[in-house]
Chain A
Amino acid sequence: MFDQFKTRAEAVGAEVYRFKTRNDALEFILQFLQKEGVSDAKDAYAIWQDGPFLAGMDKSELASKVSGLKFEVTRQLTADAKVGISEVGYALTDTGSLVSDQTDVNSRLVSTLPAIHVALIGSDRILNNKMEVFAKINPSNSKYIAFITGPSRTADIERVLTIGVHGPKRLVVIFVDDLGGAN
């Protein structure tokens, strides 16, 4: 199922990775942030929304490893961030989509405003299609259900596909085998 998801998601421009452990994933993320030049300056922050992935981790130690990595989500900080990191609920193989309960406005900020969205998800959270996810998500509790399929795109000028008009220009999806049930 992971392979099916990866094929579909990459076809719409997402970048997909898989790691056995949280520590492996963490190492990758820290390197990724350094490579992307994340720093303590406007338009260069990375904002990481708290979630099960970070449980038991020492955030101040992480922040000391990458200057500009912040764990506080505010409207202004995310607007000035280069990278937003958040956990998402499900991945769908049929369309390569991520589906999440984004009732919490912060989860929308980190996945919408920065130029790069890094989405973390447990490898056991892959479903086949919309009907399966609708069986698991109830709109009376989940007031803002978000499907995210690849980065933001437009073809409004001369039908030329252009990535990253209002939302993220890159979507990086990281599967973690030992993450367990997020969201």
Chain B
Amino acid sequence: MSKPNFKDSISTAVNNATLTGALGRFSEAYKVNRAKAYDGIDFEALRATIAERKSYCASNLELMADMFQKNAEALGAKVYRTNDPAKVKEYILKVAKDNNVKTVVKSKSMASEEIHLNDTLEKAGLKVDETDLGEWIIQLAGQKPSHMVMPAIHMTKEEVSVLFSKAVDERLTTDIPRLVEVARKELRTKFLAADMGISGGNLAVAETGSIVLVTNEGNARMVTTLPRVHVALVGIEKFVEKFADIAPILDALPRSATAQLLTSYVSIISGPTQNTDGSMKDLHIVLMDNRRTEMAKDPKFKQAMQCIRCGSCLNVCPIFRLVGGHVFGSIYTGGIGTILTAWFDKLQESEDIQGLCIQCGNCVEICPGKLNIPEMILEIRRRLVVE
């Protein structure tokens, strides 16, 4: 049965004119801009390649992880593999302790949100700062991201101005370029002072032991360059086998996520490089399973491993643009979020939110990983009924 506050949260969301207005305008613009970004590209061929390459990795996860570990370690990285989120946190804490880390800067990582890494680090006395602008806003507000690519899309400049004013102890206006400048200054000192950088990974290349980071702000370049320790936390759905497999995903990810031909920055990191003081970077790559292997073995859900986390399924969803992300109540939102919640949390956690899908199929048409999200949601419904 529905949790009592689920229907309330829907009513609150649909009656929030700011939220539905912002999401509605975004979804309308997105459709046009995405089509423009894909102009001249054979989308069907591109997504067939991506689906095939990712599906191959999903069928050979153990092999990919072995290959990645061997190659990354040969380059000098330390690779840690685990299925258990608790062990991920334990490991990162140990790395912090071993290196006498006091401050951490993070670039965007949904995997770290998935396991609530910040809570653990902060409880251990570390100062942790998110540096992606949207994630920083969310952190200051004490909220969860509402969209995997645009975490603070539900917030207004007025709300951001209040948060930033508190953070820098100065009364700020709602001028967006001014707010961004404040974030630049404030976070710049944090980048320069931090002992450890934590990033996610948009891709992990098995044959070269590389991780690929795709960003617009430049924060991932700083997180991976300025602190002396770098931990990359990567879900094992991010594997591709070959270095050349980066190309099709880089062709699709920015176009589908934000209708860009390419993001401002892409970094391909293959082993540690020198720090600014001449020492070698201490580079740790954590390969997190958290039931992904189990999901890959389930014939109905293996296709979920083809997801490249672009969030385009949210952008075209008639329901998402009305209710936003917070109604979903967990880290991953929208249709894909419903599926990931059912797996990474548990099936019962998806009982309310699976009912949000109207089965219109918009997401099926545009998914660069060829996922059939409505079909997987029906399968969740079926399993809930069976239980």
| B 168-187 binary contact with A (CB < 8 Å = 1; else 0) | 00000000110110011001
Q: Of B150, B251, B262, which one neighbours A155 at CB under 8 angstroms?
A: B150
Given the known A-B contacts A143-B273, A145-B267, are A162 and B22 also in contact in the complex, defined by CB atoms under 8 Å? no
Cβ-based interface call for A89 (8 A): no
Q: Which of B22, B219, B226, B266 contacts A147 (CB 8 A)?
A: B266
B179 touches A157 (CB 8 A): yes
CB-based contact A165/B247 at 8 Å: no
Find the residue from A75, A108, A109, A156 having the highest chain B CB count within 10 A.
Answer: A156
Q: Which one, A130, A143, A166, contacts B222 given CB within 8 A? A: A166
Of A63-71, A90-98, A175-183, the one with at least 4 CB within 8 A of chain B: A90-98
Which of A75, A95, A150, A157 interacts with B152 by CB under 8 Å? A157
Confirm or deny: A139 has a beta carbon within 8 angstroms of a beta carbon on chain B: yes
> Is the beta-carbon distance between B218 and A165 smaller than 8 angstroms?
yes
> How near does chain A come to B43, taking the closest CB pair, in angstroms?
15
Are B153 and A159 in touch, CB under 8 angstroms?
Answer: yes
Chain A neighbourhood of B222, CB < 8 A:
112-113, 166-167
* Least Cβ–Cβ distance between B59 and chain A, in angstroms: 24
Q: Does B217 contact A (CB under 8 A)?
A: yes
Query: Please, which residues of chain A bring their CB within 8 A of the CB of B179?
Result: 157
A60 and B210 alpha carbons, distance in the complex (Å): 40
Contacts of A113 in B (CB 8 A): 222
Find the B residue at minimum CB distance from A112: B221
Using Cβ atoms and an 8 Å threshold, which residues of chain A touch B112?
none
* CB-based contact B262/A157 at 8 Å: no
**Chain A, Cβ-Cβ closest to B177:** A162
- A-B pairs with lowest CB-CB distance, top 4: A167-B218, A156-B134, A147-B266, A139-B270
Q: A104-B273, A158-B22 are in contact. List 9 more A-B contacts (CB 8 A).
A: A8-B261, A109-B225, A139-B208, A140-B208, A154-B180, A154-B217, A156-B150, A159-B22, A165-B180
